[in-house]
Homo-oligomer: A and B are copies of this chain.
Amino acid sequence: MHDGGVLRHLFERDGMPVEVPTGAPLTDADLKAGLLREVDLFAGLSLAQLKEISRTLPMTTCQTGGLVTSPDVDEERLYIVKRGRVRLYRLTPDGKQLTLDILDKGRIVGRMSWLAQELTDAYAEAIEDAVICSFTPGELQRLIDRYPSIGLNIIRYLSDRLASSEREREVMAFRSVEQRLATRLLELAHRFGQPENDGTAIDARLTQQELADMIGTSRETLATTISSLRERRILQMENHRVVLLDIDGLRELSEV
Enumerate chain A interface residues (CB-CB to B < 8 A): 90, 92, 96, 98, 100, 114-118, 120-122, 144, 148, 151-152, 154-156, 158-163, 165-170, 172-174, 216
22 examples of A-B residue contacts, CB within 8 angstroms: A90-B167, A90-B169, A100-B166, A100-B169, A114-B155, A115-B152, A115-B159, A116-B155, A117-B162, A117-B163, A121-B167, A122-B166, A144-B152, A151-B151, A155-B158, A158-B158, A158-B159, A168-B169, A169-B216, A172-B172, A172-B173, A172-B216
Question: Which residues on the B side are within 8 Å of A173 (C-beta)?
Answer: 98, 172, 216
The answer to whether A169 touches B98, judged by C-beta atoms less than 8 angstroms apart, is yes
Interface SS of chain A:
helix
Distance in Å from the Cβ of A16 to the closest Cβ of chain B? 26
Q: Is A170's CB under 8 angstroms from B92's CB?
A: yes
Residue in B closest to A100 when the chains form the complex, CB atoms: B166
Q: Please, how many angstroms separate the alpha-carbon atoms of A169 and B151 in the complex?
A: 27
Q: Which residue of B lies closest to A175 (CB)?
A: B92
